[in-house]
Amino acid sequence: MIDIKLIRENPKRYKDAAAAKGFKVDIDKLLRIDSELRKNRNRLQEIATEKNRIGKSIPKLDGENRKSALSELGELKKEEGKLNEQIRSLDPGFEKIMQQVAQPADDDVPFGKDDTENVEIRKWGGIRRFDFEPKDHVQLGLDLDIIDIERGVKLAGTRNYFLKGDGALLHWAVLRFAMDGIIAKGYVPLAVPMLMRDEVMMGTGFFPGAEDQTYQMEKDNLNLAGTAEVPLTAYHKGELLTQDRLPLKYVALSTCFRREAGAAGKDTHGLYRIHQFDKVEQVVIGENDEEQSKQYHTEILANAEEIMQALELPYRVVNVCTGDLGRGQVQKYDIEAWMPSRNSYGETHSASRFYEFQARRMNLRYKTAKKKNVFCHTLNNTVIASPRILIPILELNQNADGSVNIPVALQRYMNGKRKIAAVL
C-alpha cells in the first residue's frame, strides 16, 4: 500500500505508474473520497472539542443557559453520529481503491508492455551444442523411468506429475543443496504454513489481483499460497521491531500451489508450468533505506546466481520491464536458464524489491534509534524451484546413450551417484 500523502502530493505519478504496469485504478475518485473523509474527520475533531467545552460548562450553568447547553450538546451528538455513519460508508470504497494503487517502478526499470520487452543484463555459461539428437526432459524422464506425467494426470488432472526413483532423489538433492547454501550465508530457516488467511494474502500484495491464480479453501476462509514469500514476509505482521534486529534474513523450503488459470495452451509441455512444486525462497526484511534495499537486492540475486553456477547451468539475468512488474514491485530481476527443448531461456527465479509497500499493508514497523516508528522494507527471491530446474539439469547433462550425468554439486546428495541410466 502507498502512503496517501504521496498520492495527494503527486497524483499524476500514480496514474502513470498504474498505466505503465497495466493496472486500472481511479486516482481521482480516491482523492475525492479522501477529501470527504478528511473533511468529516476534521469536523469530528471540532465537535469533540466543542462537546468537551460544553461538558465542562454545564455543571456551572442553571436555568435556560443549562437547557440551551444541553440542547447544543444533543445537536452535536446527532451531527457526530451522521458523520461517523458517512465515514463508515466511505471507508470501504477508500480502502478498496487504495489496495489497487500501483507502486511506481524505479527509474532504471525499462518501460515495456510485457515479458517480451524485458532487458537482458548479462549471461553466464556457454550453450551446449549436441553432436547427437538430444531428447527433451519428458522423453528422458520416460526412458529413464524417473518422470511419470501420465499417472500424475490420471490422479490429479492436467499439469500434474510423479517424480520417481532417481527423479525424486534429484529433485530433493537440488532443494537440499540450495537450502544448505543459503543457510551457510546466515539466512534463518523456517518451516512455514502454506494455508494463509485473506488478510495475509492482501498484506503481501497478492490480493487483490491473484485470486484467480490461488486455490481458495472457501469453507475454511484460507488460501493455498503460491510461494513461501507469503508466510516468510508476513512472519512479523503487525509487529514493532527494533532497529538493531534488522536486517532479518529468512529462508524456507515449501510446496507451492498455483492454479495457472488462463494459461491453457501456454507452456503445457512437461514440467515447466505445473500446479504444484517445491521451492526454496529467501526473504529480507530491512530498514527503510532505499540504497540499502538495493544492496540487499544485489545480494539475493547473487545468492541465486551462485547456485546456478554451482550447478553449471547457463543462464541470463533480465531487468523486468514495467508491464511485467507486480503492483507492489519497484524492481524485479529474473534469472532464466537455457532449456534446449524450448530453444530459449526460461524463467527459473524472480528477485523482487518492494520498499515499504508490503510492510505498510501488514503494519510491519521498527523503532529507529531516534524512537521513531517507520515501516520496514521487504525483498524476496527464489533460491531454487523444482521440478522446473530439472528441465535444464536433465536436458543439458544428457549423453548420447540416453543416460544423464548428475551435476558434481549434487552427487553428495545422491549417495555419490554420478549418473542416471536406464535399468535394463
Distance CA 319, CA 350 (A): 10
258 is catalytic: yes
The answer to whether the beta carbons of residues 408 and 423 sit under 8 Å apart is no
Distance CA 279, CA 29 (A): 40
Annotated active-site residue in 254, 293, 341, 350: 350
Model confidence at 265, pLDDT cuts 50, 70, 90, reads low
Q: Please check whether residue 104 lies inside any domain of the structure.
A: no
Please, which residues bridge with residue 339 across strands? Answer: 344
The answer to whether the beta carbons of residues 342 and 271 sit under 8 Å apart is no
DSSP string, 108-156: TSPP-SSGGG-EEEEEESPPP--SS-PPPHHHHHHHTT-EEHHHHHHHH
Q: Which helix (H) or strand (E) holds 45?
A: helix 27-57
38 is catalytic: no
Amino acid identity for residue 87 in this structure: I
Q: Please check whether residue 241 lies inside any domain of the structure.
A: yes
169 with 122, same domain: the answer is yes
Distance CA 311, CA 297 (A): 22
66 is catalytic: no
* Residues of the domain holding 67: 4-99
413 with 346, same domain: the answer is yes
388 is catalytic: yes
- The domain boundary, picked from 72, 99, 126, lies at 99
Q: Please check whether residue 272 lies inside any domain of the structure.
A: yes
336 with 415, same domain: the answer is yes
Confidence (pLDDT) at 248: 99
DSSP string, 321-352: -GGGS-SS-SEEEEEEEEETTTTEEEEEEEEE
226 with 88, same domain: the answer is no
Confidence (pLDDT) at 194: 98
Confidence (pLDDT) at 268: 77
Annotated active-site residue in 259, 273, 316, 342: 273
Annotated active-site residue in 352, 360, 388, 395: 388
Q: Could you tell me if residue 73 is left (phi over 0), alpha (psi between -120 and 50 degrees) or otherwise beta?
A: alpha
Annotated active-site residue in 229, 254, 258, 341: 258
Q: Please check whether residue 105 lies inside any domain of the structure.
A: no
88 is catalytic: no
The answer to whether the beta carbons of residues 1 and 360 sit under 8 Å apart is yes
Q: Please check whether residue 108 lies inside any domain of the structure.
A: no
Q: Please check whether residue 43 lies inside any domain of the structure.
A: yes
Confidence (pLDDT) at 395: 99
Helix (H/G/I), strand (E/B), else coil: 189:
strand
Q: Please check whether residue 106 lies inside any domain of the structure.
A: no
Model confidence at 62, pLDDT cuts 50, 70, 90, reads confident
Tens of pLDDT, residue by residue over 100-120, are: 999 999 999 999 999 999 999
* CATH at residue 91: 1.10.287.40
Region 356-365 average pLDDT: 98
Mean pLDDT of the chain: 97
Region 155-169 average pLDDT: 97
Region 338-364 average pLDDT: 98
Q: 89 φ, ψ to 5°? A: -80, -30
Model confidence at 390, pLDDT cuts 50, 70, 90, reads very high
Query: Sign of torsion, CA 322 325 330 332?
Result: negative
Report how many domains make up the chain: 2
Region 131-143 average pLDDT: 98
- The domain boundary, picked from 68, 99, 130, lies at 99
Helix (H/G/I), strand (E/B), else coil: 253:
strand
Annotated active-site residue in 229, 281, 305, 347: 347
- The domain boundary, picked from 38, 64, 99, lies at 99
Region 388-394 average pLDDT: 99
DSSP string, 377-406: EEEEEEEEEETTTHHHHHHHTB-TTS-EEP
Tens of pLDDT, residue by residue over 199-235, are: 999 999 999 999 999 999 999 999 999 999 999 999 9
pLDDT of 264 > 60? The answer is no
Helix (H/G/I), strand (E/B), else coil: 415:
coil
